[in-house]
Amino acid sequence: MSDLLLKDRLHMILSEQNQTPKAFAEKLGISSNYVYKLLSGNKTVISLTIAKLINSKFHYNIEWILNGSGEKLEDDTNLQYIMEKIAQMDYEQLQKVKEFIDKY
């Protein structure tokens, strides 16, 4: 089990996905007030249903979302996650990735 609290894991997801709390809530179809309560630590438990929504939209491991155990990302979605992030990059960022790949 991770030392990260639920609110920390959710902050990490929002940061990695470049989501505002409002946009995150809209994408999941839940209230932004609920998301703010989770992020502030006022709510410390998340339902399996919400964890499954996060998993389906952002590809984070359900067990990691719920209690911090296991890998953060689902193994079979790591490549998909990387491809989605690459698709969001601008030209300069893509050039840096190419330089990195060429180096190794």
Determine the pLDDT at residue 94.
93
pTM: 0.71
Q: Give the tens place of pLDDT for each residue, 47-84.
A: 999 999 999 999 899 999 999 998 898 766 567 778 88
Whole-number Å distance between alpha carbons of 3 and 13: 16
pLDDT bin (cut points 50, 70, 90) of residue 103 is: confident
Whole-number Å distance between alpha carbons of 32 and 37: 9
Cα 53 to Cα 17, 25, 26, 46, 91: the distances in Å are 14, 11, 12, 11, 31
Radius of gyration of the chain (CA): 15
Q: What is the dihedral of CA 26, 57, 4, 78, to 10 degrees?
A: -150
Cβ atoms 48, 19 nearer than 8 A: no
